[in-house]
Each structure stands twice: as C-alpha cells, then as structure tokens.
A and B are shown apart, each in its own frame.
Chain A
Amino acid sequence: MLMMGELADIILRSIYVSGTASLIAFLVGLSIVLKSVEVRSKTIILGIFEALVGVPTTTIALLVYLLIFPQGPLGSLNLLYTPHAIILGQFLVALPVIVSTLFRPVETTVKDLKELIISLGGDEKQVSWLMFKELAPALISSYLMGFSRAIGELGVALIVGGNIAGSTRVLTTAIALMTSMGEYEAAILLGITLIALVIAISITLKLLGEFKWTSS
C-alpha cells in the first residue's frame, strides 16, 4: 500500500527530474533552433530531430546505459541508478520534441519580427525583447511538450533509474510496479496524479504565455 508521504516524495521527485531534464533540453533546443534557422541545411537538421521524436525511450535508455554503466565511457561518474541518470536520459527524450515544435515558430518570428523592428527603427536589444514577447506562447508550448514527454516516459526511468524506492522511483515506474504487484488502486491513484499534474502545469504555463508582457 502506498503511503501519502511516499506518494508526495514520488511526485516531487518526478517534477524535479522531468522539470530539470526538460528545462535543460529546452535551453539546448532553443540554442540549436536559433543557430539552425538561418543556415541552409536547416531542413536536414529539422528532419533529423523530427525523426528522433519517434525513437522509443527504451532505445534511448539503452544508449544512456551503455554510456554510464561502470565499464562505459562515463562509468567513472557513478551516474547509473541515480536521478541524474534519469535526467540525462529524459533530456535526450525531450530534446527532439522541443526542437521540432520550436523550429517553425522561431523561424517565422526571427525573420519577420527582426525585419519589422529594424524597419521601424528598433535596435538589437529591442528586437530580442520583442522576439521573446512574441514567442512566449510558442516557447511555453514547446517546453510543455518536452516536459510531458519526459514525465510520461517509462523506459529511461526504469532502465537507468532502476526504480529504487526513496531514490529514483518516479510516477511512471511506480505505476508499473504497483500494476505488476496487483496494487491496482495505488496504480490508478498514481495514474490520476500524473495526468492531473501534467494538466495543472500545462494550464498554468499556458496562462503565463497569454500574459501581456507590458514593459518594452
């Protein structure tokens, strides 16, 4: 039976692990997109990331496992079966989603808005600020897509996290465990919690995206 304290611990760990992974993926993804939108090979870059969206999380988990298992290239870092291992794996899971969803809005906004602001006499600083304002909904949507993909995945959390109670157990691995143990009530509770969490975070950030950023 799942205790409330344990449930809270799992929820907080899930938010921390997936939030961190998707935040890092968002920052890296945004940098990739900003650098890629003005190069000639952008279609190829976008195509690669769109293809990577469909890679099973178990395959990504295997790749990460091979990197961080004790005899692997990063084995000395002792990352296996730690929350950091899950963060690394979920970063790789979220990155293609973030790049693919961010690419077109950034591409359009960078070109059009930059021209508009410059043509109206704005400087680079004003271009950056207005670009952020214009892109805010797209940035938030993209982060949310990455977060939802990360928090909802099981392969990485199970294979490189190990589902260790009080250490690497997150919502998805806990659901898998409870189901396999026949603890259906607990599994359903965890499932509802996961869905409610994703919806609550989604609505909050969406409202933030619609917020009218007034200073200029």
Chain B
Amino acid sequence: MDIELRNVWYSYDGVNYVLKGVSLKLSSGFHIVVGPNGSGKTTLLKIASLIYKPVRGEVIVNNSNYWALSPNNTLIRKEVVYVHERALLIRGSVKNNLELGLKLRGINDDSTLKYFIERYNLFDIIKKDVRKLSAGQAKLVSIIRALAVKPKALLLDEPLNHIDMNNAVLLIEDLTRLVRDGSTVVVATHYITPDLEGLADSMYEVVNGVLTSSTSFRARIRY
C-alpha cells in the first residue's frame, strides 16, 4: 500500500502548526520516523493512518486523494491500522481486546488468535482483566491486536517502549514478515535501536514539525 503525504500542515488549535509542509512517500517496506519528543511524529503518523485530516495538503493512498473521496472510503480505511504510543484497550479481558480488530471486520478467526497466544505465550493472561496488566503487557496486547488483522499498512508509535527483550524480538520478526508479505510498516520513535535500523528501507527525521532529512536504504533482502 502506498501512502503519500503532500505538503501536509496540521494544527490542533488553528494557531500553532505541529506539522509544517511535510511531504513523504511510504510504500511497501519498513520505514522509520525519528525525532525528539514533541516534534510532530505522532501527528504525522495519525495523518498517514487516515485518522486526522490535514488542515492543508493531501494524503494520497494508492494514487487516490483520500480525503477527497466520497464517504465510501471505508475499504481503504480498514487496510490501515495505527497503534497508539499509550496502549488503548477496551474494558474486558485480553482475549476481548485481541479479537477486537477481527470482530470489527466481521471475522471470526480463532486460528489467528491461537497462533498469537502461543507465539507470545499469553496463556497466563488471556482471561485477565486488562486493567490488571502491566504497561508492557498492555502495549504488547495492543500491537498483537493490530498484527492479527494483517493490515496492508501498519503504523506504530513507539512500539518497543515497555516491551521486554524476548517479545521485542518476536515483534520485530512479525513486522518483518508483514513487510515481506507486501505491507507498509511505519514506526515512529525517538530512539532507534540497531534492530530497527537494520530493518529500515527508509528513515525520516522530523524536528519541530518539519521534515529535516530523509534517507532511503538499498532495498533489503528479507528471508
């Protein structure tokens, strides 16, 4: 899936702009958006995720101007999934949350859930009330919930915060697999780990709402 931002501006209060004329193209592959806290990374990701409509500029998805499309754009909308920096979970158990994305799409896929429960060893917490999860567990659940729907574009805000080493390795493997299957994966972070950098096809730096640099790496071969 191709998501292109063309001269995008965004303001929360109509006065101060948190994004100022950002243009970039996110195609199938792994992309990193880096920048200090408060630089506009989250806003950029939410615009690329089609959650926020830019004040100015265009968001082109697969050669169509998304916000100029009729309301009949839910098919595109369903292909793009965003994972918040702070884990957002609904009331109920871990299982309720893991199946949320699938249920919203009308899919009843126990095998996918079973796969992720086994892979991340969630047996002990699957029935647990999400209010009793640690920050890392909650974050993990929110990312797995997104992975379970196999999105064409997955955008994650600081995904490895609070995640332990073992699960971080598994997540990176799953993100790599998603990219290998043709998806677009975008990670926003203020701190690049060697693992993430090693995966990146491109890296964008945002400072004070402005894209200050973009680096494309040679197309990587993924096994």
Contact = CB atoms under 8 A, between A and B. Distances in A.
Most buried by B among A118, A119, A126, A133: A119
A152 to B, nearest CB: 30
B51 A118 contact: yes
- B interface bracket (residues with beta carbon within 8 Å of A): 20 to 34
Contact of B49 (A117, A119, A212): A119
B90 A130 contact: yes
A121 B77 contact: yes
A132 to B, nearest CB: 11
Given A121-B77, A122-B104, A133-B91, 7 more contacts: A113-B90, A115-B51, A115-B82, A117-B104, A119-B51, A119-B81, A121-B78
Which 9 pairs across A and B sit closest by C-beta, in order of nearness? A121-B78, A119-B82, A122-B104, A120-B101, A116-B88, A112-B88, A121-B104, A120-B104, A216-B103
B86 to A, nearest CB: 8
Contacts of B216: none
B92 A212 contact: yes
B84 interface: yes
Contacts of A123: 74
12 contacts: A112-B88, A116-B90, A118-B51, A119-B51, A119-B82, A119-B83, A120-B100, A120-B145, A120-B149, A122-B104, A123-B74, A134-B90
Nearest to B13: A40
Contact of A120 (B13, B74, B81, B92): B81
Nearest to B155: A119
Nearest to B79: A121
Interface string B63-89: 000000000001001111111100010
Interface of B: 13, 46, 49, 51, 74, 77-84, 88, 90-92, 100-101, 103-105, 145-146, 149
Contacts of B103: 216
A125 to B, nearest CB: 11
A121 B13 CA distance: 27
A121 B84 contact: no
Contacts of A117: 104
**Taking each of B91, B101, B105, which has the highest tally of chain A beta carbons within 10 Å of its own beta carbon?**
B91
Interface string A114-146: 011111111100100010011000000000000
Contacts of A126: 104
A116 B91 CA distance: 13
A126 B100 CA distance: 11
Determine which residue in B46, B103, B104, B145 has the highest number of CB atoms from chain A within 10 A of its CB, and name it: B104
B149 to A, nearest CB: 7
A121 B79 CA distance: 7
Nearest to A212: B92
- Specify which of A122, A123, A134, A212 lies most central, judged by the most chain B CB atoms within 10 Å of its CB: A122
Contacts of B91: 133-134
Interface in A29-85: 40
Contacts of B81: 119-121
Contacts of B51: 115, 118-119
Nearest to B148: A120
A113 B88 contact: yes
A112 B84 CA distance: 9
A3 B9 CA distance: 73
Interface in A73-111: none
A50 B2 CA distance: 48
B104 A116 contact: no
A31 B65 CA distance: 34
Interface string A172-216: 000000000000000000000000000000000000000010001
A132 B74 CA distance: 22
Nearest to A133: B91
Contacts of A112: 84, 88
A118 to B, nearest CB: 6
